[in-house]
Amino acid sequence: MIDEGLSADPQGAVSRATSRVNETSRRAGLEPSLKLTAAFSDGQALHAVRYATDDHAPTLHTSVRNGGRCIVSEPFDRDGGEWQAIPPSSFVTMTADGMAIRAFAPEVAKLALAV
């Protein structure tokens, strides 16, 4: 994702990298079948993505506790904590000031047509 501009545009970089994977599948004659849940940080913000090419994206949850924030694949307590499920096809950015959840839809690769 670094080659896709990760430091300047985290969501765009993940979108472009995901598009490359999907397009590579198509060029190989396969229907893309990708399940992606990932988190990464630049030291100031924590970014995460929840995406799948089908209707079964791996889970992702967030919580705010004792002034801190976390993001995990599954809630790690069974005490009925304040966990928020992140919707499929979402990109999350957490900072010290808050959290933003945006729609995530990989860019559609532009195919060159042979003439």
Give me the residue spans of the domains in the chain.
Answer: 2-103
CATH 3.90.550.10 fits 2-103, yes or no: no
Residue 77 has pLDDT above 80, yes or no: no
Instruction: Report the share of the chain in percent with pLDDT over 90.
Output: 46
Q: Which pLDDT tens digit goes with each residue over 49-74?
A: 999 999 999 999 998 877 788 888 98
Greater confidence, 112 or 36?
36
Q: What pTM does this model have?
A: 0.83
Mean residue pLDDT of the chain comes to 85
Where do the DSSP E strands lie in the chain? Answer: 35-41, 46-52, 61-65, 68-72, 84-85, 90-95, 98-103
